[in-house]
Amino acid sequence: MSSECSSYLNADKVLVSGFSCPRAGGDVRAVFCCGFQDVKYCCDDPHSFFPYEHSYMWWLSVGALVGLSIAAVVLFAFIITVCVLCYLFISTKPRSKLDTGLSLQMAGKTCC
C-alpha cells in the first residue's frame, strides 16, 4: 500500500517535487501523505492532512496571545478596582464606637 504526495510550494516559495509514501529509507508504516499545503510528509495516520497553508497556525497563536493579553488587563483592572474600593471603605469608616444606649445593671438588684 502506498500514497502519492503531489508537488507543492514550501514556505520559501520553492517548488518541492512530488513523492510517494513510504519513502526509501523511511518508516515502512508511513504510507499516507500528511501535512499542509506548504509542508508534506509521509505518516501512518490517514487523517493528518490539512488543506491549509502552514502559516495559518501563526495567526491562531497571535490571536490567542491578543485575547489572553486583553483578559489579563481586564483582570488586573478588576483587582485594582477591588483594592481601591476596599481601601476607601476601610478608611471612611467612623473611628468612634457607637453608644447603644443600654445601661449596665448588676444582676439580682433592681432599681427603686
Does 95 reside within a domain?
no
One domain, residues 38 and 70: no
Task: Show the domain range for 21.
Answer: 3-43
Question: Is 13 in the same domain as 33?
Answer: yes
Residue 81 inside a domain? The answer is yes
| 37-77: pLDDT as tens digits | 888 889 887 777 665 555 555 566 777 888 899 999 999 99
Asked whether residue 32 carries a pLDDT value surpassing 80, the answer given is: yes
What's this model's pTM, rounded to 2 decimal places? Answer: 0.43
Quick one: pLDDT at residue 86? Answer: 93
Judgement on whether residues 38 and 58 belong to the same structural domain of the protein: no
The Cα 23–Cα 2 span in angstroms is 9
The answer, yes or no, to whether residue 83 has pLDDT greater than 80, is yes
Residue showing cell 514556505: 11
Whether 66 and 34 map to the same domain: the answer is no
Q: Residue 79 domain-assigned?
A: yes
Residues 33 and 62 both lie in one domain = no
* Inside any domain, residue 109: no
Considering the domain architecture, whether residues 58 and 82 belong to the same structural domain is answered as: yes
In a domain, 96, yes or no: no
DSSP assignment string, the chain? --EEEPPEE-TTS-EE--EEESPTTS-TT--EEEE-SS-EEEES-TT-B-SS-TTHHHHHHHHHHHHHHHHHHHHHHHHHHHHHHHHHHHHTS--SPPP--PPP--TT----
Query: What per-residue confidence (pLDDT) applies to 56?
Result: 57
For 4-29, the pLDDT digits (tens) are: 888 988 888 899 999 998 888 888 88
Total domains in the fold of the chain: 2
Please indicate, yes or no, whether residues 39 and 7 belong to a single structural domain of this protein. Answer: yes
Q: Which residue has the higher pLDDT, 2 or 9?
A: 9
